[in-house]
Amino acid sequence: MKITDIKTFLMHAGAPEPKAWASDNVFGVNSYSPGITGTRNWLFVKVYTDQGIVGIGECSGWPRVVETAVQDLKRILIGEDPTHIERLWQRMQSAIMVHGMTGTVGGGAMTGIDMALWDIKGKALGVPVWNLLGGKLRDKIRIYAHANTPEVALSLKARGITAIKCGGVSDPVRMVAQLREAIGEEMDLMIDLHGVPWMTPGDAVQVARALEPYHLLFIEDPIAPDNLDDYKRIRDAAHVPLAAGERMSTIFGERELITSGLVDVIQPDTGRAGGITQMKKIAAMAEAHHIMMAPHSGSLGPVAEYAALHVLAAIPNALFLERIEDDWAGRAHTVIPHPISENGYLKVPDVPGLGVDIDEAFVAQYPSQANISVQATAASGSYAEGTHDEHLFVQTRLQRARYFSARQ
């Protein structure tokens, strides 16, 4: 079998319901055309073979730019045997290396192609991808959803969701206190301190200490992702589990978080970590350090979600999968079939390959219009008063008596 072509399918995905995404910034706020808001794009990849088997994958990590990277990689893959997945991954990595260290753009391009190769191999052998990864440990994958208010959290609880994550950098302690009081102790609760302006390490320590009484499952991305050294400072100062890793790609990008014991939960993004090949290796590295795996999936499309289900079904240290429960309505029409969700779990597919395809006609109705934005507004509360237009990457928290308190 030989690869004959690789095609990309880029679409402008609508923003999820505002209440569904626990963040100060909901994929941008601009409206570009009827039914299209925000700047979220989904990039799908199809790899074609001379035996008529077609594999599907998905890329993230700045999709509009990644699309060009996929087309550049295409020229070194045509004519190759798609079943030699590790060999082709090494070929792509070596080709990208001449441009510098592999970031999320290169990782995203390799991810979509690699995912499609696993899909092809599963279809060729007549088995699900999880079977190629060592077999299935579980038939369904626990998910967690997003909530920043007690009302949304209780609605999710009523639907069978057993874990929620709040997010944003505005009033984190107060938000967690309100949510814990509303949902009780039987639900798992997390907070994502993602995005600009990240806290300074000292402020992150103080937040972590203030959150100790609420017994969070983890605190995610408390400091800027390129400041790995200070994760140890937070760990030493506060007794709270930490999570990170969505902004890194490949085992080389995730390595220090894992081998230095900086996190309790590793969160590779299923669309930019380097593919199923790398996700399996990241999981194994994490397992050796007693670290759980919870793939990032918040802004991703539904093909990457399918890939995550196969990986999580086959690894022992799977924690759960992130999911936007009330996403853009078009998500359900983008893929065939839509994943089966029941009582806080997604069913693991049992058909050959990944078990999913895109509706190309539907995707074509939503051409990409924008894929980048300034990720905050003055009204979001992310920045100290009067500093929004500075667009700072890291910022010290002012009004400290209020910011680090759970009092109303």
* Catalytically active residues, by annotation: 194, 296
Residue 121, both tokens: 């191999």
Q: Are 252 and 243 in contact (CB under 8 A)?
A: no
Chain centroid to Cα 4, Å, comes to 30
Please name which of 141, 193, 148 lies closest in space to residue 162, comparing C-alpha atoms. Answer: 141
Contacts of 275 by beta carbon, 8 Å cutoff, 6+ apart: 57, 89, 110, 111, 112, 113, 114, 115, 117, 118
Q: Is 71 helix (H, G, I), strand (E, B) or coil?
A: helix
Quote the CA–CA distance of 134 and 44 in Å, as a whole number: 26
Q: What's the one-letter identity of residue 144?
A: Y
Provide CB contacts within 8 A for 197, sequence distance 6+.
169, 382, 383, 392, 393, 394, 395
Peptide bond into 150 cis (omega under 30): no
Q: Which two tokens stand for residue 110?
A: 């390799």
The type of residue at 301 is G
DSSP state of 229: H
For residue 197, say if its preceding peptide bond is cis, omega within 30 degrees of 0.
Answer: yes
DSSP code of residue 196 = S
